[in-house]
Every structure is written in C-alpha cells, then in structure tokens.
Amino acid sequence: MTAHTTQTTSFIGGRHVPSLSTYANIDPATTRSLGEVSRAGADEVDRAVAAATAAQREWRRSSPEQRSTLLVRTAALIRGDREHLARLESEDTGKPLTQAYADVDVCARYFEFYGHTIESYYGHQIPLGEDMHVFTRREPYGVTGHIVAWNYPLQLVGRAAATSLATGNCAVAKPADETPRSTVRLAELIAEAGFPAGAFNVVTGLGAEAGDALASHPGVAHLGFVGSTATGSLIAHAAADRVIPTVLELGGKSANVVFADADIDAALPSLVRSIVQNAGQTCSAGSRLLVHADVHDAVVERMAAAMQAITVGRGLDDPGLGPLVSAKQQERVQGFLDELNGGQVVTGGVRPEGLTAELADGAFIAPTIVDAVTPEQRIFHEEVFGPVVAVSSFDSDEQALALANGTDYGLVSAVWTQSLSRAHRMAAGIEAGQVFVNTYGAGGGVELPFGGFKKSGYGREKSIEAFDEYTQTKTVVMKL
C-alpha cells in the first residue's frame, strides 16, 4: 500500500478500488488499528475476474522469454522495496523484523526462480513411429484464484502469483483478513514491472464474503488455497462443483524425531527454531518432538533453557519471538494448554513476563514445552499453531515411526541420527511430503517441491513441479 492510499484497498485491473464498507486492521502487538481495509464482496470479485480474463487473452500468447523478463523485473522491484514490504509484513503479522526481511527475500526469489526456469520448461516429443509426429503442449488454465493464509502473506501469494503468471495464466488473490497490505503492495509492483493491467488482481475483505465469492466464481479455472484443513475441504468442494483443479496446502503436525545417536549440539538450534519461527504459526512447524528415551531428559532440558532465553516483543523491535497474529489466535493456543489432561508444562504456557505497558494487551504467549504427551491427547494430534511443542519419548525405531505417522497430517518431518541405514528407513516409512535428515526446513527452499500427504492437502507448490499444477497437457498427434 503506497503512502497516498488512505485505506488498504482492492487492486483490480491496475487500479486501487476502495469499498464503502471497511474494517480495522489490528496490530497484534498493541491491539491498535493500523488503518482501515476495504471490505470487498462479490461485486469486486466479479470485476477482478473480468479484469484477469481480459488480460489473459493477451498474456496467454506471450512467449516464455517475455514472461521471464517481467518476472525477473518484478523480483528486482521487490528487492528495491524491501524495507517497506518488511515493515508491512512485520506490523500485520507480528513477526520479528528479521523474519519479515527473509519473507521479502523469498518472495523475490520466487519471481527470479520461475523467471529463470520457465524458458526451459516447454517441449516434449513422444517417438510413436517413423510416420507419426507426436508432441505435448503445456497450456494455461486461464484465471487462477488464490486464497492464502495470514502467516506468510508475501511468501504464499508470491509463489502463487509467480507460478501462475510464468505459465501464462492471470490471477486473482484474496489475502487473509488480518494481513492484506503486503499483497496489495506486491500487486502494485507487478503492475509497475509491465505486466498487462489485470494480470494480477487483489481483492481485500473477509473470507466468508470475498473468499467465498472467489472460490465459487464460475470464471475461475483453477483454485489454490493455503489454510486450515476444514476450510480446505470447503474449497475442494467448491472446485469439485465446477470440475476445476485445485492445489491445497493445509494443516500439519510435523515431528522432529531425535534418536539416541543424534548430534544434539547440531540438532538443538533447529529444534528450537522450527517451533518458535513466526511464533509457531507455520503449517510445517516442528510442533512434535519425538525423543529416544536414552537422550530424552538431556534434550528437553537443553531445549527448555534455549527457549527461556528467547526475547519476546513487538515485531518491529526484532525480538526472537513476536506476538501471535490476533487475540483470537492467542485464545485458541491458550485453550490447548488450559485443557491439558496429562502432560507436563516444562516451560512457558503463559503470557511472557516483562512486557512493556504498550504491549500489555498484545497477543503474546511464551515459548512452551509440554512433556510426556501421549497419542491420545489433543495436543499430540491437532494443530496448535503457536510456539508450543509437544514432547513424546520412544524406545525403538518401530515405535518412533508409529508416533511420527500417528496423526492425520503429513506435511514435514525430520530425522536426527548418525545411522545412514536408519535415515533411509525412516525417510521411506514416514508419511510426509518432505523429510529432512539432520536438518529442518519449514517448507524447504524455493527449489524443493512442497505439499502434503493425508489431510495436509494435495498438489505441489514450489520447484519446477509447480508448473505442472498450473498448466494442462494437450497431446498433438500428426500422421506424416
């Protein structure tokens, strides 16, 4: 959102489109308003889809070289606006400024990566016979719709927009209610880079209004969603009703599995970072810690000490941990802790001490470890989405694998061991879209396919595989 804009508005057809109705954008650290947001609805969604449809008639005929040029140019504009974008992201989400800078950098990287790879994506010939010329074409769907979560606004919408535009589609995005500003700013930068007006549109507003209208719009040919499994099921139903494809990145309950032979010194920073990054509000957060009984006490003790040393504060002050995204989310996380039936809170579990008066009403919760968690407990198998890790112990490889797979989710897992054989067995047996060994990446890099097994969703974002999600195959057979 630029300085002259009085409210965060939808961005449609290359123009800001304000709405008569607005709602307040709340700073989760202070509960004060950051400004008003346009509360768009079905009319604005209609306008956005129409703008994208018109732009796509031109854009689908663009060459990969043309797309590459504009994508790389957009990346440069994102980097040039790094300070502004990071501040918007930090204020809206509450995340520490260092993490917000990283999100801006990754967003730029998506545009660079897809700009550099799209020119080598096309071309596949099938040798059917000497008198037959057979080849395939990868063609865009048309208008793609994207409804994304509030935890990583720039990263989530950036990867969707870059992939959609790279493959010749045009797009309409609906950012989360709580975090609209960086997405609107990204739309401005995409327009500034020289994409056709309407190639990328943003509709701000509430999920039950603008989000529903986008998910059910007949002009949308492909849907992408990042968020809860419950809402993802509704999105999938909306897509099925119109027989269109969808990519769903949903919940997770990812496990760090630490064996007795693990290098604890090397593992500890990742174990902590995987649950406190973005205040644990990450679908691929390491929210379960499965530790061999022989090293359980040592790992928990050292992890508790590390988490107690983390600074807590307002995102713009760049602490180790910022607030949760909203008071509502804070209440949800606290609800998991208040209803514990079994399990022991080793550290945290309450609001952090020592907050300033300005932050007294902020949505904060201290980094938390709950030990001796069993598979029957809600905190073991349901997504908390906060800086809370549930610890369980195991005695054998078979028990470790059963615990790792003991939830409805399957997004990410990590295995910590010095045994190459064990690492391969666990990687093969774990039901997750990404498995890390002696490292942990919350979603991994831009180049790595990312998506879930089981109720963590389907389809793949990131990497060159994402091109397959945003294009459809046409086979051409010519008899010579």
pLDDT grade for 1, boundaries at 50, 70 and 90? very low
- Residue 297's contacts (CB-CB under 8 Å, 6 or more residues apart) are none
Both 99 and 227 in a single domain? Answer: yes
My answer on whether 463 and 349 are in the same domain is: no
* Average pLDDT score, the chain: 96
Residue 305, amino acid: A
Measured CA to CA, the distance from residue 367 to residue 307 in angstroms comes to 6
Looking at the structure, tell me whether residues 236 and 291 fall in a common domain.
Answer: no
**Do 452 and 430 contact (CB within 8 A), yes or no?**
no
Residue 443 banded pLDDT, cuts 50, 70, 90:
low
Look at residue 472 and tell me whether its pLDDT is greater than 90.
yes
Residue 444 has pLDDT above 80, yes or no: no
Q: Helix H segments across 81-225?
A: 82-93, 97-117, 153-166, 181-193, 212-215
Q: Say if residue 438 is in the same domain as residue 462.
A: no
pLDDT band at 441 (very low <50, low <70, confident <90, very high): confident
**Residue 342 pLDDT grade (very low, low, confident, very high; cuts 50, 70, 90):** confident
* Pair of tokens at residue 467: 């091109």
Q: Is residue 451 part of a domain?
A: no
- Residue pair 181/2 in contact (Cβ under 8 Å)? The answer is no
Query: 168-209: per-residue pLDDT in tens?
Result: 999 999 999 999 999 999 999 999 999 999 999 999 999 999
DSSP of 436-458, one letter per residue?
A: EES---SS--TTS-B--EETTEE
Q: What is the pLDDT of residues 140-178, one digit of tens each?
A: 999 999 999 999 999 999 999 999 999 999 999 999 999
> Whole-angstrom Cα distance, residue 331 to residue 385?
11
Q: Is the pLDDT of residue 477 over 70?
A: yes
| Cβ atoms < 10 Å from Cβ of 205 | 26
Instruction: Band the pLDDT of 352: cuts 50, 70, 90.
Output: very high
Q: What mean pLDDT is predicted for residues 362-381? A: 97
**How many distinct structural domains can be found in the chain?**
2
How far is Cα 88 from Cα 109, in angstroms, rounded to an integer? 19
Q: What is the pLDDT of residue 179?
A: 97
Residue 45 parent element (H or E):
helix 42-59
Residue 368 lies in a domain: yes
Q: Residues, the chain, total?
A: 480
Residue with tokens 């040393």: 309
Binning pLDDT at 50, 70 and 90, where does residue 108 land? Answer: very high
pLDDT at 445: 85
Separation CA 166–CA 161 (nearest Å): 8
CATH of the domain at 38: 3.40.605.10
Q: Of residues 91, 188, 249, 383, which has the active-site annotation?
A: 249
Of all residues in the chain, the percent with pLDDT exceeding 90 is: 95
pLDDT above 70 covers a percentage of the chain that reads 98
- Told to judge if 249 belongs to the known catalytic residues of this protein, a careful annotator would answer yes
At 203 the pLDDT is 98
Residues 75 and 137 in one domain: yes
Same domain, 306 and 340: yes
Claim to verify: residue 220 and residue 323 sit in the same structural domain:
no
pLDDT at 32 over 60: yes
CATH classification at residue 407: 3.40.309.10
Cα gap 350→364, rounded to integer Å: 9
**AA letter at 319:** P
Domain boundaries, position 73: 10-250+457-479
Region 440-456: what's the mean pLDDT?
88
